Amino acid sequence: MHQHASLPMIARQPSGPLSGSVRVPGDKSISHRALMLGALAVGETRIEGLLEGEDVLRTAAAMRALGATVTREEGGTYTVHGRGIGGLVEPADVLDMGNSGTAARLLAGILAGHPLFAVLTGDASLRRRPMKRVIDPLSALGAAFWSREGGRLPLAIRGAATPLPADYTVPVASAQVKSAVLLAGLCAPGVSRVVEPTPTRDHTERMLRGFGATVVVNTTGEGGREILLTGQPELTGRPVSVPADPSSAAFPAVAALLVPGSSVTLEGVGLNPLRAGLYDTLAEMGADIEIRNRRDEAGETVADLTVSSSPLSGVDVPPSRAASMIDEFPILAVAASCASGTTRMRGLAELRVKESDRLAAIASGLAACGARVSIEGDDLVVHGTGAPPKGGATIATQMDHRIAMSFLVLGQVTEEPVRVDDGRFIDTSFPGFAELMRGLGAAIGPA
Ligand SMILES: O=C(O)C1=C[C@@H](OP(=O)(O)O)[C@@H](O)[C@H](O)C1
Ligand SMILES: C=C(OP(=O)(O)O)C(=O)O
């Protein structure tokens, strides 16, 4: 999809404060899962608010290739007619998951439990990302894998006819690995057990329950979780309403905090406690974030957030919080570069294996804009002066949507404009980002 020329973008200070009330697009994690569980269910799943980002559209295409019917109605509602667990058909061609780690890893789990041959690939960014973390536990269930050196895509999979139930402790904090094993466990007889020493986003567990599976979650003595899934349930299609993505809402939220005099309302934002670490951290930094109308929608907590510009102070972000805001460190680092005092973000090793090496991308981008920043082991340290860095740099996006959006937000407050060399990847998670930001008064556009 990205074979065309790059799309340079520029951000400069807007003429006034940001204001307005908007709903950012649907949650990416929940959107992938709704399509996948819809395809594994019997009957119809209607999905309201599905994210129509490229990552999720790749999942939709893959589920079609595996025999599910996925249709878009006018207005953006999606309907999935599933094939039931074990009922997927062998895809006729390679499945290209584009830029999406979630799509590739969760799909590997589904395929591992079906006696089919399939090949997964992706773009240059995804082909660099580690897959051994799913290959190892899924091999133990009886699936066979062939991959490039180091467990990189393209990855060929021959799924197991009768997979073994899982008994697996996830060695890294990763909802993708946990979910891949649970999705394979769906196809196995008996109870699968997955233990995660650090709790990660639990959308898979919640949605599996919603579709009719038996999922028991126990807390372990050390603050982790044990998940017990009874295999071979009959999943039944159901309506899913996708909350606005808290990871996308983070960009207008931080822009509103930084641009003086701003006040922006973000409607219907998912506030699952295992996703909300950024908002807790910003509040500790002194951010004025009013949370109103907290409610439950289809098993997930959502709320409206009103964010008003605030002076921010540096904080220490403990490693125990990293998983609950893992995709938000680029935009938090931008906020920290405008705060007074030092922000230390601890335990960020996983950022090295995202769409780009985000630790390096954040540090070099902020330094190019004139901020003082260092990487110390797995920690990112940003020394704020209480005023925004100078800006004036062109940021290497490195096929990473969150790097692009974070630096375009920084450009709203730097004295000199900030450019990003390629804004195309923003569409993977936040189609319409620049238009939405301009609607609030931001100055972001093609360079
Ligand atoms: O399960 C998910 O939907 C996701 C899990 C996280 O990845 P890891 O599992 O690699 O931590 C996150 O970074 C990604 O954007 C979405
Ligand atoms: C890491 C991300 O996504 P994925 O792993 O699905 O590519 C992200 O969206 O920041």
Q: Which residue has a Cα nearest atom 1 of ligand 2? A: 354
Nearest atom (ligand 2) to Cα of 29? 6
* pLDDT at residue 436, as a whole number: 99
Are 188 and 251 within one domain? no
* pLDDT at residue 229, as a whole number: 99
* pLDDT at residue 299, as a whole number: 87
Task: Please report whether residue 92 resides in a domain.
Answer: yes
Distance (Å) from CA 175 to ligand 1 centroid: 5
Are 415 and 425 within one domain? yes
Distance (Å) from CA 354 to ligand 2 centroid: 6
Say how many residues make up the chain: 447
Are 13 and 36 within one domain? no
Boundary of a domain, candidates 218, 235, 252: 235
Question: Distance between CA atoms of 271 and 192, rounded to whole angstroms?
Answer: 28
* pLDDT at residue 298, as a whole number: 81
Model ipTM value: 0.99
Are 33 and 14 within one domain? no
Are 296 and 368 within one domain? yes
Are 172 and 90 within one domain? yes
Task: Please report whether residue 383 resides in a domain.
Answer: yes
Are 221 and 310 within one domain? no
Are 121 and 186 within one domain? yes
Nearest atom (ligand 2) to Cα of 400? 10
Range of the structural domain that residue 157 is part of: 28-235
Residues labelled catalytic: 327
Question: Ligand 2 pocket, 32 CB below 6 A?
Answer: no
Nearest ligand atom owner, CA of 348: 1
What's the order of all strands across the beta sheet hosting 379-385?
316-317, 340-345, 379-385, 372-376
* pLDDT at residue 295, as a whole number: 97
Distance (Å) from CA 176 to ligand 1 centroid: 5
- pLDDT (tens, 9 = 90+) of the chain, 447 residues, equals 455 699 999 999 999 999 999 999 999 999 999 999 999 999 999 999 999 999 999 999 999 999 999 999 999 999 999 999 999 999 999 999 999 999 999 999 999 999 999 999 999 999 999 999 999 999 999 999 999 999 999 999 999 999 999 999 999 999 999 999 999 999 999 999 999 999 999 999 999 999 999 999 999 988 999 999 999 999 999 999 999 999 999 999 999 999 999 999 999 999 999 999 999 999 999 999 999 999 998 889 999 999 999 999 999 999 999 999 999 999 999 999 999 999 999 999 999 999 999 999 999 999 999 999 999 999 999 999 999 999 999 999 999 999 999 999 999 999 999 999 999 999 999 999 999 999 999 999 999
Are 207 and 259 within one domain? no
Q: Please check whether residue 427 is in contact with residue 54, taking contact to mean a CB–CB distance below 8 angstroms.
A: yes
* pLDDT at residue 160, as a whole number: 98
Are 381 and 398 within one domain? yes
* pLDDT at residue 221, as a whole number: 87
Are 377 and 297 within one domain? yes
Question: Ligand 2 pocket, 54 CB below 6 A?
Answer: no
Boundary of a domain, candidates 175, 205, 235: 235
Distance (Å) from CA 29 to ligand 1 centroid: 7
Answer yes or no: is 29 a known binding residue.
yes
Task: Please report whether residue 334 resides in a domain.
Answer: yes
Task: Please report whether residue 4 resides in a domain.
Answer: no
Answer yes or no: is 352 a known binding residue.
no
Task: Please report whether residue 111 resides in a domain.
Answer: yes
Boundary of a domain, candidates 219, 235, 251: 235
Question: Ligand 2 pocket, 384 CB below 6 A?
Answer: no
The enclosing domain of 275 has a CATH number of 3.65.10.10
Q: Which residue has a Cα nearest atom 4 of ligand 2? A: 101
Task: Please report whether residue 1 resides in a domain.
Answer: no
* pLDDT at residue 58, as a whole number: 98
Nearest ligand atom owner, CA of 27: 1
Count the domains in the chain.
2
* pLDDT at residue 3, as a whole number: 55
Instruction: Determine the residue of 29, 36, 100, 245 to mutate for testing ligand 2's pocket, defined as the one with the most ligand atoms within 8 A of the Cβ atom.
Output: 100
Instruction: Determine the residue of 354, 402, 406, 430 to mutate for testing ligand 2's pocket, defined as the one with the most ligand atoms within 8 A of the Cβ atom.
Output: 354
Are 360 and 222 within one domain? no
Task: Please report whether residue 382 resides in a domain.
Answer: yes
HEC string for the chain: CCCCCCCCEEEECCCCCCEEEECCCECHHHHHHHHHHHHHCECEEEEECCCCCHHHHHHHHHHHHCCCEEEECCCCCEEEECCCCCCCCCCCCCEECCCCHHHHHHHHHHHHCCCCEEEEECCCCHHHCCCHHHHHHHHHCCCEEEEECCCEEEEEEECCCCCCCCEEECCCCCHHHHHHHHHHHCCCCCEEEEEECCCCCCHHHHHHHHCCCCEEEEECCCCCEEEEEECCCCCECCCEECCECHHHHHHHHHHHHHCCCCEEEEEEEECCCCCCHHHHHHHHCCCEEEEEEEEEECCEEEEEEEEECCCCECCEECHHHHHHHHHHHHHHHHHHHCCEEEEEECCCHHHHHCCCCHHHHHHHHHHHCCCEEEEECCEEEEEEECCCCCECCEECCCCCHHHHHHHHHHCCCCCECEEECCCHHHHHCCCCHHHHHHHCCCEEEEC
Task: Please report whether residue 3 resides in a domain.
Answer: no
Nearest ligand atom owner, CA of 134: 1
Answer yes or no: is 327 a known binding residue.
yes
